[in-house]
A and B are shown apart, each in its own frame.
Chain A
């Protein structure tokens, strides 16, 4: 956290006693959000995270979207630790969209992303809990007419001299009348909750079918709409004939929105049947008729020309041109769909002066404001309620708010509560992908075999260029998310140059779990592996030497190597690969063990993962997120590719965009480094190392160096010289 948000500068203020005599604690952080303050928004409005009921219930209001990462448990744990309440009484409630729930670091928007939920809320929620505890203790002390210092809170009870006790619920009403401490003191002594593998509060609802995801939202009389979308990005409706669609029983209406032609019906099935009967003539802009095979050639050509400099240390080009021996390689990764299990959807109930949106969003303020613009309302007239998200991975933090805007457009046309649902094919073909990347790397070694110069040219679309985030996130033409993980590599290379080309095209791109790291780790960690093998040095030892100045990275690297049995003999056709990467404030190393049979079939058998994410909240959640990141990254490493031909996306469903299934899943073991460092993220950092660890393991097992994802049997065969 920046200096300006230190504890002593925070102010806490009480807002209101709730109906029923509960205590609503609100803290506001005048220095935490300068942009909001400067813009004259209601940035000093109360910021409520906690409600204690007279029934002893402790409700933590959570300003982060739950999309699998467990924020409905980890964030309440942060507050409850300081509150000293009874964990069994803790409940969670998704927050509304309001300035007090804005991201503590990202400026005036409510957003869940960047693996920041725990990191950004740690201090704010701890202080919210501590302040409430002090007020409850003061209320009890007042009741007993004793010094508050003689009282303490424990497990939802304030205990006074002589063992007197009052529960939080019984104190709630009187505590609500007390002033909020300006500088609440965090408790000292042992942690009761933090660091413990507590069960998730949202699990019961998720296994009995009662958890409400966006797609489950229903109100009486609600209609359902599907949208027929253009075959290419940027395509528009030229004309359409809906007579066939309207003849389908249950179909109410067909209308044009920006995204295409919406068919509105009294259920999903009639909407789908109706959509199949639409006759549409599309207008396809010439520039939309692109093919990834052509783009790849263009990217390869660009990679040979100088780009914008993202990092320059020493003089890599000069050292390389003087070198006797140079290693050169091209790496490439394709577009990827996020493919959350819950296809995108959005419920809208638009009235003359209000709009209710219920959806699984990671980007509430952006989506709400977009909805207001489309609806012709003020942002404060739009209520956005966050449901459970059936996976997010960045897709539900859409810079273009696509799935919200199209639903509001439909609602605006029909003036009736409506839910727009995407089929899997819609979800996969309508864009917003992880960019396709092409990397060209050259390096030379010193006489000890260590890298002397590394010249790296990255080619791929900028995610934020052309969005409202461009001005804040693109500096001197460099989108940091394009080069993160490469330009800031911790490897000690005396001559290092990283350049960037950011070509533009019609394919919408977006952050995809781990963002730029999802490609840079693959390139860095594989090419480094190549250098190690060229130098004849063990890839683990090679990394150790280059990371001598980075004890935390070194520690995860060594832990993963040791726990994996690195160096121990393996059966023929098996191999281990190692990769380590820093992202989102955390350090993760992984060792993959793979086997390859004589038909070239690659199987990932085991992954040993070590993470240092600083101070921890819930170790089981961290393990789950490592398992999750590894699986997500493995789907990309082994199967994932979105390709375009003549502008058409060639994949549509899980038969041609395959994901890791049970039968593909390796054994995963995660080791968490004991650390007192500042907390790091866990949602994304598990993803980057897995693809290079697997590619490096494949090389160790077979001698096949595959530099292009996904690692298909064909590519393995080519690399082995059989292709």
Chain B
């Protein structure tokens, strides 16, 4: 039995602890927003926050998040500045990578509310987008950073 919190709710999952967190979220908890893209931590489509840090859930055994707090795309409020910026900049194309992109962006902005382009390159280059939405992601992150203070109680 692995016990951890997902989007604020305690979850108890009876599963082999080597099972990647991604498949627990998707298949056991019905949270399919985190995506499978590579299974090797190479594309970032599965990115979630674990105790505030972005992690590739496809290579994170669920046993490692025992007792920890996991936030998935479903746990990011609709009014979150990153989501609002994503809509305003019309980032999405096929949309498959976007939950992972958004989670990486949320994590970046928590640490650096006003990231530079170099910060964005560094934080976001682990998230692939085959549709080529990078320019808009960059703009959306700058817009979210400029429009909001991510300090204090705003943490998702």
Contact = CB atoms under 8 A, between A and B. Distances in A.
B42 to A, nearest CB: 4
Which of A207, A218, A267, A655 is packed against the most chain B CB atoms within 10 Å? A207
B146 interface: no
Given A199-B87, A209-B31, A665-B135, A390 B94 contact: yes
Contacts of B32: 209, 212, 216, 218
Nearest to B82: A207
Contacts of B91: 203, 207
12 contacts: A207-B99, A215-B36, A218-B32, A267-B19, A341-B45, A341-B94, A342-B37, A388-B94, A388-B95, A388-B96, A624-B136, A628-B133
Interface residues of B, number: 58
A206 B95 contact: yes
Nearest to A630: B132
B129 A210 contact: no
Tell me the dominant secondary structure on chain A's binding face: loop
B87 to A, nearest CB: 6
A424 B136 CA distance: 26
Which of A206, A392, A423 is packed against the most chain B CB atoms within 10 Å? A206
Nearest to A392: B94
B155 interface: no
Contacts of B127: 661-662
A587 interface: no
Which of A209, A339, A389 is packed against the most chain B CB atoms within 10 Å? A209
A663 interface: yes
Contacts, number: 180
B29 to A, nearest CB: 12
B20 A269 contact: yes
Contact of A70 (B23, B83, B93): B93
A668 interface: yes
A654 interface: yes
Given A390-B96, A390-B97, 18 more contacts: A68-B131, A206-B98, A207-B92, A207-B102, A208-B73, A208-B74, A269-B23, A341-B35, A341-B43, A341-B97, A342-B96, A388-B96, A390-B95, A424-B39, A627-B136, A628-B131, A662-B137, A665-B138
Nearest to B32: A216
A391 B23 CA distance: 21
A215 B38 CA distance: 13
B57 interface: no
Interface in A463-486: none
A342 B35 contact: yes
Interface in B16-58: 16, 19-20, 23, 26-28, 30-40, 42-43, 45
A67 interface: yes
A206 B42 contact: no
Contacts of A211: 95
B134 A631 contact: yes
B121 interface: yes
Which of B30, B43, B125, B130 is packed against the most chain A CB atoms within 10 Å? B130
A341 B130 contact: yes
A662 B134 contact: yes
A208 B35 CA distance: 12
A421 B72 CA distance: 22
Interface string B62-89: 0000000000111010100001001100
B130 A391 contact: yes
Contacts of A578: none
B96 A203 contact: no
A717 interface: no
B124 interface: yes
B60 to A, nearest CB: 13
B49 to A, nearest CB: 14
A540 interface: no
Contacts of B35: 213, 215, 341-342, 390
A207 B83 contact: yes
